Amino acid sequence: MILKSIENLSYLSILAIEKIPELFNLSGGLLANNPLLTSLEIISCPKLCSLPSELGNLTALKSLTIRWCQELSSLPQGLQNLKALESLEISDCHSIVSLPHDGIGSLSSLRTLSIENCSNLASLSKSFQHLTSLEHLTVMYCPSLGSLPEGVQHLSALRSLTILSCPGFLSLPEGLQYVTTLQCLEIGILSWSDRVAGVGGEPCFAWIFDNFRLSIFKIFARGSKSSQCTLTHHNSRLS
């Protein structure tokens, strides 16, 4: 296999594994022998069911993208060793039910986390609150996910939050009002008549205007054009 033949290329900095329909697992040697990798993409490998623990050896890795791996059921426990990781994208991985409880919170350099179209994802890591470098968080098309974990108020660097097409979210995350760095908020609702509550069940829009100094506020309703509000003052209204 081609992947086996590149295990000894120990000076790789970027590795993209894409469109290999018969790939069931990755060799641990492929990752263990490439400690200089800064970017790893695993895309369109529909039968890939696991990743090796050697992923944790990639201590220089800054970007990890896993996309369209429908049989992948979990991320390896070695994830917590990726101290240099700045960007993590997981999308279209329908067999993933949860993220590693210890792994995610140990990613001390993580700035961007994107989770999209993971239909069976029911919970995020309980260590989520330790992502104090996180600036951009996107959660989209995750119908089984009901909320973000407790401790959102500890995301002290968060600048943008996007939650779209997650029908289990009936309110904005508890503690979000204490994230003073938040500048961009995008939320999706099923229809304009839906009641989307702020923290404590208050009407969403009033609660948002009373608690944030946003630069960008976007609302998306199914079947409607998006409504964008650019706020120049704390009490600006929807245009």
pTM of the model: 0.86
Can you give the pLDDT at residue 25? 86
Mean pLDDT of 13-20: 94
Can you give the pLDDT at residue 195? 45
203 has a pLDDT exceeding 80: no
The contacts of residue 233 (CB under 8 Å, 6+ apart) are: none
Mean pLDDT of 210-215: 78
Tens-place pLDDT, residues 132-180: 999 999 999 999 998 888 888 999 999 999 999 888 887 777 788 889 8
> pLDDT higher for 233 or 160?
160
Indicate the pairing of strand 39-43 with strand 63-67.
Answer: parallel
In 73-215, beta strands by DSSP E? 87-91, 112-116, 136-140, 160-164, 184-189
Tens-place pLDDT, residues 176-195: 888 989 999 988 765 444 44
Domain map (residue ranges) of the chain = 1-85, 118-239
Indicate the pairing of strand 136-140 with strand 160-164.
Answer: parallel
Cα Dmax for the chain: 61
Question: Which fold is adopted by the domain 1-85?
Answer: 3.80.10
Can you give the pLDDT at residue 39? 97
Confidence label for 1 from pLDDT (cuts 50, 70 and 90): low
118 burial via Cβ count (<10 Å: 0-12, 13-18, 19+)? buried
